[in-house]
Structure 1
Amino acid sequence: MFYKSFFELNRPSLELVLQQEPMECGLACVVMIANYYGANLELFEVRERFPGSSQGISIKSLTELAEKLSLTPRVLSLDLVDLNKLRAPCILHWGMDHFVVLKEMKKKGAVIFDPATGKEFYSAKVLNEKFTGIAIEFSPNIDFEQNSGQSKRPNIWALKKHLAGFNLNALQVVLISFFIQACLLLTPFFLQSITDDIVIKGNIQILDYLLLAFVFIVFFHAASEHLRSEIITFLSARFGFQLTTKIFDLLIKLPVDFFEKRHAGDILSKFHSAEQIRNTVTDSFISSLVDSIMVFITIIAMILINPKLTLIVLIFTSIYCLYNYLNFNKNKRLNVDKLKAEARCNQHLIESVGSVPSIKIYQKEKQRSFMWQNKLVNLINKDLQLNALRNSLSTLKLIIFGIENVVVLYIGTKLTIEGEISLGLLLAFIAYKLRFIDSFEKFMRQFTEMKLIGVHIDRLSDVIYGKQEIHESMQLSPEVHNDSFAGKINIVNLGFRYGTSNSWVFRNLNFTVEPGEFLAITGPSGVGKTTLLKCLTGLKNPVEGEITIDEKPLSVNNNYRRYISTVFQEDSLLSGSILENIAFFEASPDLMKIKYCAKLACIDDEIDALPMGYYTQIGGGSSSLSGGQKQRVLLARALFKDPKILFLDEASSHLDLANEEKINTNIKQLDITRVVIAHRKETLRFADRVIYLS
C-alpha cells in the first residue's frame, strides 16, 4: 500500500504523446502510461530502443514492451458498463485497429487520449461503437525508476544553434528595438509637458524647443524601425535557409525504414513546421524579449504616476492573462489537429496525382474528388475552430480593456478633480497605460506562439533525433575504387522480421556469393526476396545473423555502398534530363561514359531517336518513356557508378527476351558480381546459380 501511495503522490499528470508513424499508436500509449508514473520518456528514444513494425503491434507485443519498461500489464476483457471500474489511465483496444489511453470516465462519456488525434471526449454511444472489449491496466513494478531529469525533447534553443551569427543579429535587433521603444516612451512626457507646462501655465517659450525635439524623435524612430525591419528580414531569410537545409540534410540521411513507415504528406508537413519555427524564432522570439522588458518599464512609470490606477490596470490585465492560460491547451490541440488535417490533405493529393491512370480506368474520379472534399472540409473546420478561438480571445480583449479604460478614466478624472494628480499626469498615465497594454498583449500573443511552437518542434523530433546511417559519400572520396575490394558476400544464419509479434520473413539463411558470380534469387511473392536484397545492400538491418563483405561485417563497412549499385522495383526517375538521370546529377558528367552505359543497357539508340536526345526531360511523373525504357535508363544509371556488385530486383520484368539477353551479355563482359531477383525462367537461365526462397 505504501508503494502504491508513493507513486500516486509523486507521479506527474497524464500528458498526451502523439504518434509520428501510422502504426505506432501502441508505442505512444505505453509511453503515456510510463510517463504518468514518472518515467519521463520521449517517444523517439523508446522507438529507437524498441523498433516497431510497419504492420502494427499486437496486444501481446504491447504487454511485452510494457514489461521491458518495468510496468506490469494486466489484460482484461470487459463490457462497456465496467469501464468505470478500470484503474485509469489504461489502454483500450479501439476500433479493431487502434489503441488509445482512457484518462477518466465521466457521467456522459470518457476522456480519451488518442495518439492519432489528441485529447477527445467520447459519448457512451461512440464508446459502444469503438471499444472492442479489451483493456490493459498497468502498474509500476519493483524495478520501475522515476526519472526527474531534464526532458530530451528538442526545444527552440536547440534549433537556434543551426543559425550562424544568430546571436549577433538578434542583439542588433534588440538594441534597435529598445531605441524604438525609448522614442515611444518619451511621447507621454511630451504630452504631459504640453498640458501642464504650456497649456495650463501658459509657458509658450519652451513649445518650439519641444516641437523640434519630438520631430527629431519621430525621424529617429522611423529610421530605427526601417533598420530593424531590414535586419529581421535578413535574419529570417538566413535562418529559414539554414534550418530547412539542415532538416532536409538530417531527413535524407535517415534509414529507409523511416520513409517506409510514414506517408509522403506527413513528411511534407514537417517542412511546413520548419517554416513556422523560422517565423517564430526570427520574430516572436526577439519581440517577446523586448516587449517583456517594456512591460516592466511601463509598469514602473505608471506606479510612479499613480499606484491606484496602476492596480486597476493590473487587475484587468490579470483577467485577460487568466483567460489566455485557460484556453492554451485547447489552442494547442486545435493547432495539432490542423497540422494533421493538412498532412492528410497533402497525402490524398499526392496519392491521387500519382494514381491518375488507375483512377480513370476504374472510373473513380468522383470518389477521389468526394474523398478530397471530405478531407478539405475537415481541414477547413479545424481552421474555423482555431479562428473562432482566436476571435473569442480578441473579443474578450476588447471587452476587458474597454471596461478597464472606462474605469481608469472615471477614477482618474476624480483624482484630477480632487487634486491628487494633474491633468497632464493623467494624460501621461493613459498614454503609458496604452503602451503597457499594447506591449503586454503582444507579449502574451508571442509567448503563446513560443509555447505553441513546441507542436511543430515535436513533429520534427523524429528527424532531429532519428538514428542516421553512417556511410562514406562517394563525392567526398578522391579515389573511385579500392583495388583490394573483391566483393565476396557471406551470409550466416540470417533472419529478418518486422517486429517481435510478426512472423519471420526468412530465417537461418546461409549462402556465399563469390566475386564475379551471377546469383539469381527466386521464389513465390511475399517470401522476402526484396527484403533480403535490402539487407544485402545495407538498407535494412537483419534481426539475427551476419552479413560479411570480404570477411568484414557489413554493419561496420561504412564505404561499402561506394562499390555497389541497385535497381529496385520501386525506383523512379527524377525530374531532369536523361543525361542527368543516368549520371545521377553529377556536377560534370562524362558524356562518353553516359553513352557507353546507355549502350550497355540497350537504350542508346532509342535515346538518340528522341528530338532532344540525352537532354530530353523526364521524371517527376512524366510518362514520355515506356516501362521497359525506364528500367533500362535505371540500369544505365546503376552501371554509370562502375559498381563491383550489382543488385537487381525484377529489373528486367518489362523487357523483351531479345533485349534482356543482349543486356546480360553486355554486363557479363564487365566481370562484376550480380545478385538478381527474378521470376521468369528466361532470366534465371542466365544465372550461374539459383537460390529458391520459400
Structure 2
Amino acid sequence: MFFSWQKKTPLILQSETNECGLACLAMITGYFGKRVDLASARTIHETTSHGMTLRELITAFERVGMMARASRIELDDLRSLSRPVILHWSFNHFVVLVKVTHRSAVIHDPGIGRRSISLRELSDKFTGIIVEAWPAETFDKKPMEMNVSVSDLFRGVRGLKRILSSVLALSILVELLSIAVPAASQFTIDTLVQSSDREGIFFIGIVVISALLIKSTFSVIRAWVLMSLRYTLGVKWAEMFFNRLSRLTLPFFEKRHTGDITSRFQSLTAIQEAFTADMVASILDAIVIIISMVIIFTNSPLLAMGPLAAAMGYVALKAGLFSMYRTRKIEHIAFEAVQSSHFLETIRAISAIKMLNLAPIRRREWVNHVVNSTHAGNQLFKLDLLTNTAAMLFVGFSGIYVLSVGALEFDKGITTGILLAVMLYADMVITRTVRLVNAVSDFCLVSMHSQRLTDIAVSPVERDEGERSPAQLNGHIVIRNLSFRHSPSDPNIFEGINIEVMPGESVAIIGPSGCGKSTLLHVLAGLYEPTDGDILINGISISSIGKRAIRKHVAFVMQDDKLLAGTLQKNITGFSESPDMERMAECANYAAIDDEICSFPQGYDSMIGDIGSTLSGGQRQRISIARALYRQPRVLLLDEATSDLDIDNEQKITHAISQLPITRIFVAHRPEMIKSADRIFNLQLNAWN
C-alpha cells in the first residue's frame, strides 16, 4: 500500500455537470481525514439543474459534522488563509485553493483536475467569495463511501478458481525453471568446466535447452489460459455494466457528458488486468524475490546488500511518486473524457455548427482539449520515464556492486560460478521487484477505477417489474394531485394536476413554453418519477406497475426522438428478430410514410445512420410515429411529434390514428393539431379549456 504521512487535499472530479460544490466538499472533508465519495455526497445534498448555492454548500458541510462560513475577501488576503479553501470561480463554479505564492496558485478544479495558474488568471476568475470549513465537535472520520466490491465483479464467473489455479500452477513451474538456470550455470562452471568434463557439460547443455523448451511451452499454455480468462471476464463485465447502464434513470444521463460515461467503461479493462495476469505474476514475483535473496544471502551476506539496497531504493521512489501519479492519472482520464464529449457533440450538432460558422471555434476548442489531454499524458509519461530510468540505474548499480564486491571476496570462498549465479539472481531480484512494485501501484489504482464504476453501480435504476403487471390496459388514465420537480431544492415545474382521460379519448395539453408540458408526458411515460400525487392506469397506480409493463402498453414519440443505425425495417419493428412485415407496412401507412419508403431504391431495407442519414426532419418524425404504432400501444403520448410536418400530412396522420382504439395525449402549439383533440387541458391554468 502506498501512502503519505503528509496531510494532503485529495483531487475529486465531478461526475455530473452541476456538482462542483459537492466535489469541493468531498475534497475538504478528505483533507481533514474523512473520505466522502460523490455517490455518498449526493445523499447529503441532491444537486439541481442550477447547481449549488452558498447556503446549500454550508448546510451540506454541517450535515457531515463540519462548520463552514462564506465571506468576501480581496485577492491579496488569500495568502493569509488556512488552506484548503473553496473559491467561487467565474460566477458559476467552485474550486479548491490548495496553494498560493507570490507568482502562482494551485487549485483543484472539479471539472478538469489539479491546475497551476498565474495570479492574473486567479484575479480574473476569482469572484471574491470564499467558503472556509473546519471540523466541528460532532465531526468523525468514519468514511462515507459506496465503492464497487471487486469480489462482486468476480461473483458468478464459472470456473474462476480452476482457471486461476491452473495459471498459478503453470506459473510456478515456469518460475522454478527460471530459478534453476543460475544454479545450473554455477554447477557447470565450478564443477564441470574445472574438471574438463565434456560429457557432463554436454549433458547440462541438453538439460538447459530442454528446460527452456518446457518453460516456453508452459508460458504459451499460461498465456492461452489467461487470454481465455480475459475474454470471459471482459464479456461478463461489459454485459453486466451495460445492462446496469441501460436500466439507470433518465436524469443520470441528462446530468452527465457522453464522453465521461464512455470513459468509465475503460476502467473495467484496468481492473481486469490487475486481478488476472498482474495478480498471479505479483504472487510469483514475491516468491522469486524471497528465494533469490535467500540464495544470495546463503552464499554471501555482503553480496546480498547490493540488490537489497537497490530494490528498497526503487520501492521508496515509487511510493514517493504514487500520489502524484494517481493525481495525473485522474486528470488524464478527465481530459480524455472532455475531449471525447466535445468530439461526439460536434458530430451530433454538425448541421448547426456549419450554419452558424462555428467550425473555427469548435476546432480551436478541440485543439485545446487535445493539448490538455496530451499534456496530461506527457506528465504520466515523464513519471514513467523517471521510474524506468531509475529501474535501469538500480539494475546497473546492483550488477556493479555484486561484481566489484564479489571480486574482492574470491579469497573468501567465492568462485566464478557462484559470482555468476549471484549476478543472475541479483538481476532477477531487481527486475522482479520493479515488476512487483509496478503491479502493486496498479492495485492501488484499482480503487480509483472502482470509484468511477461506482457512479454506474450505485445510481438508482428503474424498477422493471412491479407488484402488478396487467395483461391488458384499456387506456383509462387518472392523474391525481400530480406535482413534479427535478430535486428537493428546485421549484415545482407543475403541481396539483388533476386529469382524467377516458379510453380512446384524444387530449391536447397546451400552455406557454416552459410550463412543463413535455415534463408531464415524461412522467406519464415513467421516465421521470412524480414528486407528489399519483397516476392510475386501469385504476392501478403506476407505482405498483413495473416500467417494462407500462412501456409495453404506452408508446411515447418525443421531440428529439432518435433513429438507430440499421435499416428502416429494423427501426420501425424495434429490431425484432421475427418482424411482422404486414403490420410494419400498415403502421407506416398510418404515419403517411409508406409510399415514400417504397420509392427508395432499397425500400424498407434502406440503411440509415444513428443521426438520421439523409432523411428529412418530417420523415424522421413519421418513422418514429410508425415505430410507436408498431408496438400496438393502448396509450400514445406525442410531444410535438408532428411539428416538422406539413398540414396535409399532419391531418392524414391525425385522422388515421383517431380510427385506432388508442388513448392519445399530445402536446402541440399548432392550432389545427389542437383542434383535432376531443378535449384541451391548459397546464398553466390547471384547467380544461
Same structural fold, with TM-score higher than 0.5 when normalized by the shorter chain:
yes
Question: Which amino acid in the other structure matches residue 334 of structure 1?
Answer: R
Q: Partner of 2:113 in structure 1?
A: 118
Q: How does 1:54-453 map to 2 (within 5 A)?
A: 54-103=49-98, 105=100, 109-141=104-136, 143-147=138-142, 151-154=145-148, 156-161=150-155, 163-416=157-410, 418-453=411-446
Q: Contact between 2:465 and 2:545, CA under 8 Å: does it hold in 1?
A: no
Give the distance between the partners of 1:454 and 1:162, measured in 2 at CA: 21
Q: Partner of 1:482 in structure 2?
A: 471
Give the distance between the partners of 1:254 and 1:12, measured in 2 at CA: 37
Mean Cα deviation higher: 264-273 or 573-582:
264-273
- Cα deviation digits, residues 599-635 of structure 1 (max 9, x gap): 2212112112222111111232243322111111111
1:585, distance to aligned residue in structure 2 (A): 0.6
1:85, distance to aligned residue in structure 2 (A): 4.3
1:654 aligns to 2:644 (yes or no): yes
Give the distance between the partners of 1:194 and 1:115, measured in 2 at CA: 62
Other structure's SS at 2:71 match: strand
Q: Contact between 1:54 and 1:260, CA under 8 Å: does it hold in 2?
A: no
Q: Contact between 2:639 and 2:667, CA under 8 Å: does it hold in 1?
A: yes
In structure 2, relative to structure 1, the CA distance for the partners of 1:515 and 1:48 (3 Å cut) is: farther
Q: Partner of 1:516 in structure 2?
A: 504
Give the distance between the partners of 2:504 and 2:249, measured in 1 at CA: 29
Other structure's SS at 2:183 match: helix
Other structure's SS at 1:586 match: coil
Q: Contact between 2:179 and 2:288, CA under 8 Å: does it hold in 1?
A: no
Q: Contact between 1:341 and 1:379, CA under 8 Å: does it hold in 2?
A: yes
Give the distance between the partners of 1:126 and 1:618, measured in 2 at CA: 47
In structure 2, relative to structure 1, the CA distance for the partners of 1:462 and 1:431 (3 Å cut) is: same
Other structure's SS at 1:327 match: helix
Question: Which amino acid in the other structure matches residue 82 of structure 1?
Answer: D
Q: How does 1:524-563 map to 2 (within 5 A)?
A: 524-558=512-546, 559-563=549-553
Question: Which amino acid in the other structure matches residue 405 of structure 2?
Answer: I
- Cα deviation digits, residues 79-138 of structure 1 (max 9, x gap): 122224444443221221211223455565544332223334445433322321111222
Question: Which amino acid in the other structure matches residue 461 of structure 2?
Answer: Q
Give the distance between the partners of 2:177 and 2:51, measured in 1 at CA: 61
Question: Which amino acid in the other structure matches residue 57 of structure 2?
Answer: L
Mean Cα deviation higher: 82-91 or 192-201:
82-91
Mean Cα deviation higher: 420-429 or 99-108:
99-108
- Cα deviation digits, residues 438-493 of structure 1 (max 9, x gap): 211111222222223433332222112221111149xxx9x9x723x334333333
Q: Partner of 1:605 in structure 2?
A: 595
Question: Which amino acid in the other structure matches residue 685 of structure 1?
Answer: K
Q: Partner of 2:586 in structure 1?
A: 596
1:204, distance to aligned residue in structure 2 (A): 4.3
Give the distance between the partners of 1:166 and 1:70, measured in 2 at CA: 44
Q: Partner of 1:632 in structure 2?
A: 622
Q: Partner of 2:635 in structure 1?
A: 645
Q: Partner of 1:664 in structure 2?
A: 654
**TM-score using structure 2 length:** 0.92
In structure 2, relative to structure 1, the CA distance for the partners of 1:591 and 1:691 (3 Å cut) is: same
Question: Which amino acid in the other structure matches residue 225 of structure 1?
Answer: S
Q: Contact between 1:57 and 1:501, CA under 8 Å: does it hold in 2?
A: no
Question: Which amino acid in the other structure matches residue 680 of structure 1?
Answer: R
Q: How does 1:42-57 map to 2 (within 5 A)?
A: 42-48=37-43, 50-57=45-52
Question: Which amino acid in the other structure matches residue 531 of structure 1?
Answer: T
Q: Contact between 1:21 and 1:262, CA under 8 Å: does it hold in 2?
A: yes
In structure 2, relative to structure 1, the CA distance for the partners of 1:145 and 1:381 (3 Å cut) is: closer
Q: Which runs of 5+ in 2 are unaligned?
A: 685-689
Question: Which amino acid in the other structure matches residue 22 of structure 1?
Answer: T
Mean Cα deviation higher: 429-438 or 71-80:
71-80
Give the distance between the partners of 2:471 and 2:659, measured in 1 at CA: 20
Q: Contact between 2:398 and 2:426, CA under 8 Å: does it hold in 1?
A: no
In structure 2, relative to structure 1, the CA distance for the partners of 1:495 and 1:86 (3 Å cut) is: farther
1:35, distance to aligned residue in structure 2 (A): 4.1
In structure 2, relative to structure 1, the CA distance for the partners of 1:97 and 1:626 (3 Å cut) is: same
In structure 2, relative to structure 1, the CA distance for the partners of 1:511 and 1:583 (3 Å cut) is: same
1:413, distance to aligned residue in structure 2 (A): 0.8
Q: Contact between 2:112 and 2:335, CA under 8 Å: does it hold in 1?
A: no
Q: Contact between 1:48 and 1:467, CA under 8 Å: does it hold in 2?
A: no
Give the distance between the partners of 2:474 and 2:140, measured in 1 at CA: 50
Q: Contact between 1:11 and 1:38, CA under 8 Å: does it hold in 2?
A: no
Give the distance between the partners of 1:560 and 1:69, measured in 2 at CA: 39
1:193, distance to aligned residue in structure 2 (A): 0.6
Other structure's SS at 1:276 match: helix
Q: Partner of 1:462 in structure 2?
A: 455
In structure 2, relative to structure 1, the CA distance for the partners of 1:157 and 1:104 (3 Å cut) is: farther
Q: Partner of 2:687 in structure 1?
A: none
Give the share of equivalent positions with the same residue, in percent: 32
Other structure's SS at 2:412 match: coil
Q: Contact between 1:494 and 1:544, CA under 8 Å: does it hold in 2?
A: yes
Give the distance between the partners of 1:563 and 1:658, measured in 2 at CA: 29
Which of 9, 34, 41 does residue 36 from structure 2 map onto? 41
Give the distance between the partners of 1:49 and 1:611, measured in 2 at CA: 58
Give the distance between the partners of 2:482 and 2:58, measured in 1 at CA: 27
Q: Partner of 1:3 in structure 2?
A: none
1:336, distance to aligned residue in structure 2 (A): 1.7
Give the distance between the partners of 2:623 and 2:143, measured in 1 at CA: 56
Give the distance between the partners of 1:13 and 1:337, measured in 2 at CA: 17
Q: Partner of 1:6 in structure 2?
A: none
Give the distance between the partners of 1:500 and 1:110, measured in 2 at CA: 36
1:577, distance to aligned residue in structure 2 (A): 0.9
Other structure's SS at 1:674 match: strand
In structure 2, relative to structure 1, the CA distance for the partners of 1:72 and 1:493 (3 Å cut) is: farther
**TM-score using structure 1 length:** 0.92
Q: Partner of 1:585 in structure 2?
A: 575
Q: Contact between 1:583 and 1:640, CA under 8 Å: does it hold in 2?
A: yes
Q: Which runs of 5+ in 1 are unaligned?
A: 1-9
Question: Which amino acid in the other structure matches residue 575 of structure 1?
Answer: A
Q: Contact between 1:567 and 1:648, CA under 8 Å: does it hold in 2?
A: yes
Question: Which amino acid in the other structure matches residue 445 of structure 1?
Answer: N
